[in-house]
Structure 1
């Protein structure tokens, strides 16, 4: 029996294969030409230094310092509105309160809140932890996706239809929209997850956010059927949200936010574009690749503590003979950091603590061994222009797995945090730059005379 028209839509037919070959042949550009025309591929030079495309007050990534008039690599540091993120994390941990709301206030408004300002901001977020009537039924429950990032993006775009001032790009209105989305993201994420699994035959439970709980606590409460979580679980998830909130203006999804904002489009379209960027395995989806890589590694290793065996597996990864055969050790290396990623440094201490509580010390030891060996193996196998270190994705996947979070939500949790940074950068772009972002591309195609159909 032949396939239906709808089934044929998803087949790569021989005709498509042939056309794809034409695409590849006629789109290939010689690598040497990028050097000849001094094109900064990835908008970065060979040393990893980015092309200056804008100015920002929101956050700063530092991985170099000036010594004797020259830039040299140093321990990585991340600053939110001028404050070192390590100091911010230590600050709210010392006071034993959750940090998401406090640091969101800082990124959005430029100053740390006092107690009354924080209470007021918390109340603002609480009153916006709601969705339009029937939204869950009409949007989230309708055609749920197995990919939660796509589900989230669809929900964001659908919220446009419920907003009478959707296209108003004035600062007060965009701030209102951003605060709404920051408050709604946990619900959109968790409800989308439950809706899909309900379609797969599992029980459906939809819990409303508790106004007395923090963002991290609400995520865990809404996600779990029994609504239960430990204080350590909530504290570590809260810290993960803070560490993922922003990372300078040049990371792919935040740059996307600036680019799309510069076109004059609405907030919902802008955030959906940023979501599309974050979904990619080279960006927000990297933590899933890390966990998948380690699952494959554990299946192929006979002794997790054998340094030679672990080293051989890492070499096989780079030789495209293991895991997904992409030649990458996921979670290692960063576009900016060369010695250390401060977010990974903060995570590391809490990963060890959580591993002890969850009795996952053996797994943590394997991660630590890979973190030690991978830079050496990469240095032996690759020509590298700067140091290689574990990035935040290296440990975040392990943290989420020990928290019992489903893999489908690893990247959406990243998005739930990063929506704050995207909002801050969107507001900054609207305030300061009234010019569409349009970089130059050099055409290499020779001009040709038109050929009549019968002469082709």
Structure 2
């Protein structure tokens, strides 16, 4: 009887049923993976591509004329918000649930993906970025041995950074914005593109994805040295040291000049949760759009980085940090304690001045961003007494109620940017102008994983239809 009751409860709850199916699917994939033994990421993808191609053709043939939604004039004028017009393999963003990477939530990933210390699970630390990279590319959860193989491969590929890139970065003005330098460095590394050479040599379309994969792996491998060179040049002595006995994130921390296991763990978490946020965000979409012209992954992701550099996209966390520090300074200047009451007054003063509260609200989400939640859990575990974290925590307690009362915010809950700057600041990473470069290192993993599948599935040049204001007016008047 107990079994019947449990089954009834599972099937009555859509969330439980979805979770159950996900676990069954994960278990079956795990069995298949264990039977396969240790494989390289190239071997896994080679086995998947033919079936994926066939599945997409079947989907198009059977359902190609079905309508996914309608486009309103507001959506046309308002940045195509909510228009379903992109195919995206690697992640999906739900308004209530948040991000799922290949069907797995962030807590799922923390439970199932290998960590630096070994098996999956929060007791062993945060997931390795390489493990999430494998998941996004293949849709499969890798073993620790497979992740170690990918780590070694990325370290090896990092050494192939063209010799002219670092001298070029060294020659750039120190006051040039780090994101501008980052884009320059990646564009300069494009001389090593395997896809660009293969295309020039006449490679057939059926092989494009093989060369794109080489570029994707190389770009992800080479970005840390480009990023670290910029950081060390602008803020320190220009010296970049490596430790390839560590994982991708740990080695990146050493290249930046940080030797702190706590910061290593933060960087693993930070890089993982910023990798992908479905395809409609500006940096992912820009990468997809530029890549659809058959620009190689270097050029395509340089487009994504330029989108990420915009104040409405990748610069948000430094704005949040500045706002929080503004609260702290004003309260200190006025001799007041930072608490729920004073933060409430500061918030209303901000809103009454027609200013936006940074870090709250999201274009899609209607609940607290799971990426915020996992960063909060990290802070509670590693830095519960940090003064800025205490302010962030108090803001979290009062802000949703204030914004709900204010009535002009669709989502009164915090997003990922509400927390990340405070965590970085705690570990002494105070150069907030550089924060977006960290975001850029991470987002490459998601955007370029999708770019691989764009070429493997033969997706076409992206070319939506635009309309003039006169067309819209005449069309609407004729209805």
Give the alignment's TM-score, normalised by structure 1. 0.77
Distance in 1, Cα, partners of 2:73 & 2:210: 47
**Other-structure match for 2:282:** 252
The answer to whether the 8 Å contact 1:149/1:412 transfers is yes
Change (3 A) 1:249 1:204: closer
The answer to whether the 8 Å contact 1:140/1:155 transfers is no
**Other-structure match for 1:155:** 185
Match of 2:298 among 268, 277, 283: 268
Structure 1: state its 5+ residue gaps: 1-33, 45-49, 64-73, 322-326, 447-456
**Other-structure match for 1:450:** none
Deviations 1:252-304 (A, max 9, x none): 21111222122222222211110011112221211111111112222212434
Match of 1:401 among 425, 430, 439: 425
The 10-residue stretch of structure 1 (411-420 or 365-374) with the greater mean CA deviation from structure 2: 365-374
**Other-structure match for 1:178:** 216
The 10-residue stretch of structure 1 (339-348 or 92-101) with the greater mean CA deviation from structure 2: 92-101
**Other-structure match for 2:442:** 417
Using the TM superposition, give the Cα deviation of residue 36 of structure 1 relative to its aligned residue in structure 2, in angstroms. 5.8
Using the TM superposition, give the Cα deviation of residue 112 of structure 1 relative to its aligned residue in structure 2, in angstroms. 1.4
Q: Which has the higher contact order (CA 8 A, sep 6+)?
A: 1
Distance in 2, Cα, partners of 1:144 & 1:162: 26
**Other-structure match for 1:439:** 464
Distance in 2, Cα, partners of 1:307 & 1:426: 46
Match of 1:223 among 252, 256, 277: 256
**Other-structure match for 2:166:** 136
Could you say what secondary structure the match of 2:469 adopts? coil
Alignment map for 1:53-452 (pairs within 5 Å): 53-63=85-95, 74=96, 76-91=97-112, 92=120, 93-96=122-125, 98-130=127-159, 131-163=161-193, 165-166=195-196, 168=198, 170-197=208-235, 202-207=236-241, 209-224=242-257, 228-229=259-260, 231-301=261-331, 302=334, 303-320=336-353, 327-356=355-384, 359-360=385-386, 362-384=387-409, 386-405=410-429, 406-444=431-469
The answer to whether the 8 Å contact 1:145/1:151 transfers is no
Distance in 1, Cα, partners of 2:396 & 2:86: 34
Distance in 2, Cα, partners of 1:109 & 1:287: 30
Deviations 1:192-219 (A, max 9, x none): 122223xxxx533222x22211122122
Deviations 1:69-109 (A, max 9, x none): xxxxx4x2321112222111133334447511111111122
Change (3 A) 1:104 1:35: closer
Using the TM superposition, give the Cα deviation of residue 162 of structure 1 relative to its aligned residue in structure 2, in angstroms. 4.1
Distance in 2, Cα, partners of 1:58 & 1:145: 36
Change (3 A) 1:205 1:37: closer
Distance in 1, Cα, partners of 2:126 & 2:413: 31
Distance in 1, Cα, partners of 2:457 & 2:276: 19
Using the TM superposition, give the Cα deviation of residue 168 of structure 1 relative to its aligned residue in structure 2, in angstroms. 4.1
The answer to whether the 8 Å contact 1:304/1:310 transfers is no
Structure 2: state its 5+ residue gaps: 1-70, 113-119, 200-207, 472-479
Distance in 2, Cα, partners of 1:316 & 1:222: 42
Distance in 2, Cα, partners of 1:125 & 1:238: 16
Distance in 2, Cα, partners of 1:266 & 1:101: 22
The answer to whether the 8 Å contact 1:329/1:374 transfers is no
Distance in 1, Cα, partners of 2:467 & 2:339: 51
Deviations 1:158-197 (A, max 9, x none): 1123446535461111111111111111111111122223
Using the TM superposition, give the Cα deviation of residue 35 of structure 1 relative to its aligned residue in structure 2, in angstroms. 7.3
Match of 2:76 among 39, 42, 45: 39
Change (3 A) 1:38 1:337: closer
Using the TM superposition, give the Cα deviation of residue 61 of structure 1 relative to its aligned residue in structure 2, in angstroms. 1.5
Using the TM superposition, give the Cα deviation of residue 228 of structure 1 relative to its aligned residue in structure 2, in angstroms. 2.4
The 10-residue stretch of structure 1 (257-266 or 327-336) with the greater mean CA deviation from structure 2: 257-266
Could you say what secondary structure the match of 1:78 adopts? strand
Could you say what secondary structure the match of 1:60 adopts? strand
Could you say what secondary structure the match of 1:104 adopts? helix
**Other-structure match for 1:31:** none
The 10-residue stretch of structure 1 (89-98 or 120-129) with the greater mean CA deviation from structure 2: 89-98
Distance in 2, Cα, partners of 1:194 & 1:246: 27
Could you say what secondary structure the match of 1:61 adopts? strand
The answer to whether the 8 Å contact 2:220/2:445 transfers is yes
Distance in 2, Cα, partners of 1:106 & 1:279: 27
Distance in 1, Cα, partners of 2:379 & 2:75: 43
